[in-house]
Amino acid sequence: MTDVFATLNYHELRAMAQRFLPRGVFEYIDRGSEDEHALRELAQAWRHWQLRPQVMVDVAQRDCSTTIFGRQQASPVVIAPTAMAGLVRHNGEVLMAQAAAQAGVPFCVATQSITPIERIAAMAPEADLWFQLYHWEDRALAHDLVRRAHDAGARVLVLTADTVIAANREYNTRNGFGIPLQPSVRGAWDVLSHPRWLVSTLLRSSLCDGVPTFAHYPPEFRSAVTRPSISKRIQVAQSLSWDDIAALRKLWPGPLVLKGVLRVEDARRAMDCGLDGVVVSSHGARNVDSAPAPIDVLPDIADAVGKHLTVLMDSGVRRGSDVAKALALGARGVMVGRLPLWGMAAGGARGAAHALALLRQELLSTMALTGCPSLSALDATLIQKSLTQ
């Protein structure tokens, strides 16, 4: 298969991505942590939730548009922040933003982006940009970054709380794909045997911008992704606390969201701190290998805070029916990480946009087949836990 538009689903996009990318990059995107229990649980968990179709409902007109943090979007989906998307394709983060704009959904730029948010905003002026913060040890530098994101046009700030240290991903170490990247004979062979990626991504990016770096690090601390960060000051703060959230609340005038929440108490605390939303997330089953599937903890969190906060969720969303399930269990919308990355690897901005279009089309089909003309019809009566687990 050569044309990304000929792909029918995420399986085919993922297979195309796997052919295009060196193994090190593909596994960095695709896999979980340690023994990958959480990743397997994730797939099971979605299957255990079932939709109960209502019949004899007029679904001739269906609408999956929604409003999240005051802006209308074409579907209840946000492209999740993913570090180093610029290693998947040249200008990867720009391509993501362009795909998001085409699909009419927001794109959340990562702190560990290869492309700076200013360039993303300039090259994708239609995109609704959010910014994800890894809060550095040096509070003043972290706050400077927040101001920078705001000045560049980010509308929503997402603080990631679930990654105070790098998770144990042994395959990355074996592949030399840690931070910093570790050049090796095995890695060199991996890259040489994927010449399309080598030429169109690595060489092109290096020719245009030099060796890739984390674009949001202050210049004095910025180093190539092949070299270790030179200062503890820009490592993620292990001492992060609710006081930091209070400080961010004062600093950030727009919607402020906490990402990586899996407990009702934490969601309540976020509400008490004046946050606007939470993302119920296990980081795509990439961090705590014993973490529950977010879809399973979503109902309690949505019950507790859903009337006051915008509850988003992610981890393992692959099909439109998954989006329908998340909404039926109380989410306002979902984030997707791997899905658009596979699409972008498979076919650049067109590929990522195609991945989002497939998801939207599947959501509309699910709505038709379950008797839901609009997203508000996706409620608790639509969903049940399988009786045959």
Which residues belong to the active site? Answer: 283
Taking CB atoms, the residue at the shortest distance from ligand FMN is 337
Q: Can residue 281 be called a binding residue for ligand FMN (CB under 6 A)? A: yes
Q: Can residue 114 be called a binding residue for ligand FMN (CB under 6 A)? A: no
Q: Which residues of 130-165 are buried (b: 16+ CB within 10 A; e: fewer)?
A: bbbbbbbbbbebbbebbebbbebbbbbbbbbbbbbe
Q: Can residue 321 be called a binding residue for ligand FMN (CB under 6 A)? A: no
Taking contact as CB under 6 A, which single stretch among the options 178-186, 308-316, 342-350, 378-386 is the one that binds ligand FMN? Answer: 308-316
What would the two tokens of residue 79 be?
Answer: 């492209």
Q: Can residue 159 be called a binding residue for ligand FMN (CB under 6 A)? A: no
Separation of alpha carbons 205 and 191, rounded Å? 14
**Which of 133, 167, 64, 154 lies closest to 279, judged by CA?**
133
Taking contact as CB under 6 A, which single stretch among the options 178-186, 196-204, 210-218, 334-342 is the one that binds ligand FMN? Answer: 334-342
What is the footprint of ligand FMN within residues 226-265 (CB under 6 A)? 259
Separation of alpha carbons 215 and 130, rounded Å? 16
Least spacing, CB of residue 112 vs ligand FMN, in Å: 5
Separation of alpha carbons 50 and 328, rounded Å? 10
Beta-strand relationship, 383-385 and 49-51: antiparallel
How many residues bind ligand FMN (CB under 6 A)? The answer is 24
Q: Can residue 301 be called a binding residue for ligand FMN (CB under 6 A)? A: no
Separation of alpha carbons 141 and 229, rounded Å? 15
Q: Can residue 338 be called a binding residue for ligand FMN (CB under 6 A)? A: yes
**Which of 275, 276, 260, 284 lies closest to 339, judged by CA?**
284
Least spacing, CB of residue 216 vs ligand FMN, in Å: 11
Nearer CB in complex with ligand FMN: 73/172:
172
What is the footprint of ligand FMN within residues 160-179 (CB under 6 A)? 160
Nearer CB in complex with ligand FMN: 115/132:
132
| Among 16, 278, 336, 367, contact with ligand FMN (rule: CB under 6 A) | 336
Taking contact as CB under 6 A, which single stretch among the options 17-25, 232-240, 331-339, 366-374 is the one that binds ligand FMN? Answer: 331-339
Taking contact as CB under 6 A, which single stretch among the options 95-103, 239-247, 335-343, 372-380 is the one that binds ligand FMN? Answer: 335-343
Burial class (CB in 10 A: 0-12, 13-18, 19+), 359: buried
Is the separation of the CB atoms in 48 and 386 below 8 Å? yes
Q: Can residue 115 be called a binding residue for ligand FMN (CB under 6 A)? A: no
DSSP labels, 32-61? -STT-HHHHHHHHHHHHEEE-PPPS---SS
Q: Can residue 87 be called a binding residue for ligand FMN (CB under 6 A)? A: no
Q: Can residue 283 be called a binding residue for ligand FMN (CB under 6 A)? A: yes
Separation of alpha carbons 257 and 331, rounded Å? 14
Nearer CB in complex with ligand FMN: 306/337:
337
Q: Side chain identity at 153, as an amino acid letter?
A: G
What would the two tokens of residue 81 be?
Answer: 């922040």
Q: Can residue 315 be called a binding residue for ligand FMN (CB under 6 A)? A: yes
Chain positions contacting ligand FMN, by CB under 6 A:
28-29, 80-83, 110, 112, 132, 160, 259, 281, 283-284, 286, 314-317, 335-339
